[in-house]
Amino acid sequence: MRLLILLSVFITAALALALRPHQQLAFTKPLDDLFATDWHLFRHLGGYSPWIPHIHHKGSQDNTIKDGELPETCTVEQVHMLSRHAERFPTVSVGLKMKQLVRRMRDEAGPEIFPFLDRWELFFDVDEATGKSRQLEQLTVSGKYAGVDRARLAGEKLRGIYGHLIEQQDSNTSATSIFSCSCDRVVDTADQFATGFFGNDTSFNHVIVPDRDASRGGDTLTPVKACTRYREDALAGRPNSNTMADLYKLSYLTPTAERLRQIYKSFEFSVSELWTMQELCGFDILATGNEDSPWCALFTKREWEQFEYARDLLHYYRTGPGTPYSEVMGYIYLNATSQLLREGPEKVGKIFLSFAHDGDLVPLITTLGLFEQHTPLPTTHAVDDRAWRLSSVVPMGGRIVFERVSCTSSSSSSSSSEQTGVRLLVNDAVTTIPGCHSSTSGICPLSDFLALVEAKGAAVGKFEDVCGLGTGLGRRPSFLHHGGVLERE
C-alpha cells in the first residue's frame, strides 16, 4: 500500500516535471500559481506582457463579440492598422532604477537574504552616468518573446488574413507605404512587420513621421507629443497621471512592503522599489523568455491584480478618459482613417499599416468610447469590476484594426445587393463600435460609421484649439497615402 502511494506520488511528480520542465529552474517558490489557464499573469501585466489576444472579461461590460467571424458573404477590401511597437526592453529611466535596486539588494543584503540574486543577472547594460545602453528602449532580441521576431511573425499572421489585398507591383507603380513614428523601436517594428506581411521579395516605402516636431501640429501619428497644453496642464493633462498613479501605488504597496520585510529579514523596500520589482518581472520575461523570473514569484496574485489596476489607472488619467485631452488626440487618426474608409480601396489603396506607442492607441480607444468606465477610477482601492482593463488591449505589439468589408446579400434570389461596412478588431477580437447598430458579426454600416465619426468631430473640437497650438500648423495626417517617396536615408 505504502509503495503504491509512493509510486503514485512519484508518477505525479514526474508528470508535473514533464509538463512544466522549466519549473525545475525556478529560483524562488512562487506564492501562487501565476500561469494557470483561468488566471494568467500576462493578463495582469498592464501592458508589460508579450502580445496576447484580447478576450472578453468576465463580469465586466466590454464590447467584444465572442467568436466573431466574418460572414461567408463578406470580403475585406481595405485594412487599417494602428499598432504599438513589439516587445521591448525598459526605457532608460526605468532601467536605471532597476540597476540601482539590484545593486542595493546585492550590496546591503546579499545572497543570504536574497538567494535568487546569486543566479540571476540583469538583462541589459547601461552606463549610469550617461544613460547610454545598447538594449534599453529597443526591441528585445532573444528568447521566445524577442520583439524583433514577434513583429515579423505578427506581419506573417496578418498576411494570412489580408494577403489578398497585397497588390502586384510592376516596376513603374509605386510600392505600398507603411507609416511609423520615428522612435527606433517603432521604426524597427514597422520594418519587421512589413517584411513578414509583404514577404521578402516585395518592396515597401517606409514613411517615418517625427515623434516630436512642433512645426507639424496635428500632422502626426503621435498626437500626445504634439498637444502642448495637454503636456503642460498639471491638473488635467499628462502630469496628473503620475500624481494619481503614485497615490494608488502608495496605498497598495505599503502592506506589501511590510509582508516582504517579514520574509526578508527586515530588509526595507520603498514603494518605488517595489514598483520597480514588479516591472522587473514583465521585462525579465520580455528580454529573456524566462517565465520563472524570480521577480514575478515574489508577489501574490492579488498584488499582480493591484499592479494591473495601477497600470490601468495610469493609462486612464494619462491618455484615457481621465484626461479631457484624450478624445481630441484620438480623433486625429480616427478621422484620417474614416476619410480613407469613405474613399475606398480603388481610389486610395487597400492597406494602411501604422506604428506608434501605447500612448497613441489609448486615445483612439477613448474617442471610440470602448471599454467605457462610468465612474472615474479611484486612487484609494482597486475597482475589480471595471470595464477599463488594458492588459490585453495595449500589450507589446497591441493593435487596433479597421476593416472595410463588402457583403453581398441575396435576400431576393433575383437581385443581390452590395453593402459596405466597417469592422473593428482589438488584438484580433471583433469589437462592436459604440453608438453604431452593428450586425451580429460586428459589422457597422459604412454610412453609420462615417456619420458617427463626423458627429464626434463636432463634439471633440479642433485639435489646434484644444491643444493651444499656433496657427498655420498641420491639422491632420498628410502622409497617410500611397505613392509617397521613401523618406528614409
Ligand X SMILES: *[C@@H]1O[C@H](CO)[C@@H](O)[C@H](O)[C@H]1NC(C)=O
Footprint on this chain of ligand X (rule: CB under 6 A): 170-172, 199-200, 335, 339, 457, 476
**Which CB, 335 or 392, lies closer to ligand X?**
335
Paired strand residues for 207 = 179
Q: Measured from the CB of residue 139, what is the shortest distance to ligand X in angstroms? A: 17
Q: Which is nearer to ligand X, 279 or 360 (CB)?
A: 360
Q: With respect to ligand X, which residue has the nearer C-beta, 68 or 223? A: 223
CA pair distance 176, 172, nearest whole angstrom: 12
The nearest distance, CB 457 to ligand X, in angstroms, is 3
Q: Which candidate, 352, 341, 332, places its Cα nearest to that of 179?
A: 352
Instruction: Compute φ and ψ for 82, nearest 5 degrees.
Output: -120, 115
DSSP state of 269: P
Q: Which is nearer to ligand X, 28 or 228 (CB)?
A: 228
Cell numbers found for residue 267: 530588509
Q: Measured between alpha carbons, how far is residue 144 from residues 16, 43, 84, 193, 203 in Å? A: 22, 18, 19, 17, 28
Q: Please choose, from the candidates 403, 324, 390, the residue with its C-alpha nearest in 3D space to the C-alpha of residue 359.
A: 390
Residue 162 beta carbon to ligand X: minimum distance, rounded to whole angstroms: 15
Nearest residue to ligand X, scored by beta-carbon proximity: 457
Q: Output phi, psi for 81, to 5 deg.
A: -130, 135
| Cα-based torsion angle of the residue sequence 474, 480, 483, 488 in order, rounded to the nearest 10 degrees | 80
Strand partners for 139: 88
User: Residue 159 Cβ, how far from ligand X at the closest point, in Å?
Assistant: 8
For residue 66, what are the contacts with CB-CB under 8 A and spacing of at least 6? 56
Residue nearer to ligand X on the CB measure, 205 or 337: 337
- Least spacing, CB of residue 286 vs ligand X, in Å: 22
CB of residue 119 to ligand X, shortest distance in Å: 33
Contact 479, 207 (CB under 8 A): yes
Q: At what angle do helices 238-263 and 301-318 cross, to 10 degrees?
A: 170
* Spatial CA neighbour of 46 closest among 292, 282, 293: 282
- Among 206, 26, 50, 252, which Cα is nearest to 119's? 26
The residue among 149 and 211 lying less far from ligand X, judged by its C-beta, is: 149
Question: Of the two residues 90 and 223, which places its CB atom closer to ligand X in the complex?
Answer: 223
User: Minimum Å distance from CB 452 to ligand X?
Assistant: 13
| Beta carbon of residue 329, minimum distance to ligand X (angstroms, whole number) | 12
The C-alpha cell at 324 is 479631457
Between residues 280 and 329, which has the closer beta carbon with respect to ligand X?
Answer: 329
